[in-house]
Amino acid sequence: MANQDILASLNPVACAAAQRLIAKGAILTSGRRTIDAQASADAADVVLDRQFIAKVYKKPLCNVAVALQACADQFPAADQAELTARFLGVMAAFDDTELEKLSQHLGGNAFDIHPDPALIPACEDEVTQCVKSGGTALFLQKEGDLVRFHIQIK
């Protein structure tokens, strides 16, 4: 997905922050996700680490995360394709409000950028400015054992 497509998928506050980071050299890798894309992303991570959901998602785990981790635990030999399909089935039981508790990507309130240590100060500044303006924001440099730059802003 190209930067412009990702930008168009984000809420206005996240989009503006992403644009400022792009101007500083950031390469967007993910923005708003469909349920299918979220299930696939989670499945890819779970294949690498079966406890990924339990380790990475905000504590206490929301109902969706609990159900996804239980599914991963129930099918320890499942590959990414099988987990994606199973995760889609799990996620279908929840409404949009519950799903957004799992991932801010689902509401267009989060984006990922290619990890570049030179961008850490700029990412931290975006989060600080958002919070000073009354918004909520979070910058993660790792998800579990995976190096990723994830920014949530709304």
Phi, psi (rounded to 5 degrees) for 128? -60, -45
List the alpha helices (DSSP H) in the chain: 3-9, 12-23, 35-48, 52-56, 63-74, 80-91, 96-102, 120-132
* 148 and 137 inside one domain: yes
Looking at residue 122, which CATH number applies to its domain?
Answer: 3.90.1150
Phi, psi (rounded to 5 degrees) for 60? -65, 150
* 26 and 45 inside one domain: no
Phi, psi (rounded to 5 degrees) for 114? -60, 130
* 43 and 93 inside one domain: yes
Looking at the structure of the chain, the number of domains it has is 2
* 96 and 47 inside one domain: yes
Cα–Cα–Cα angle for 15, 20, 22, nearest 5°? 90
* 41 and 3 inside one domain: no
* 44 and 95 inside one domain: yes
| Total residue count of the chain as it appears in this document | 154
Domain that holds residue 121: 1-33+105-154
Distance CA 99, CA 63 (A): 9
pLDDT in single tens digits along all 154 residues of the chain: 677 899 999 999 999 999 999 999 999 999 999 999 999 999 999 999 999 999 999 889 999 999 999 999 999 999 999 999 999 999 999 999 999 899 999 999 999 999 999 999 999 999 999 888 888 998 999 888 888 899 999 8
The pTM score is 0.89
Query: At which residue do the structure tokens 């030999």 appear?
Result: 77
* 25 and 3 inside one domain: yes
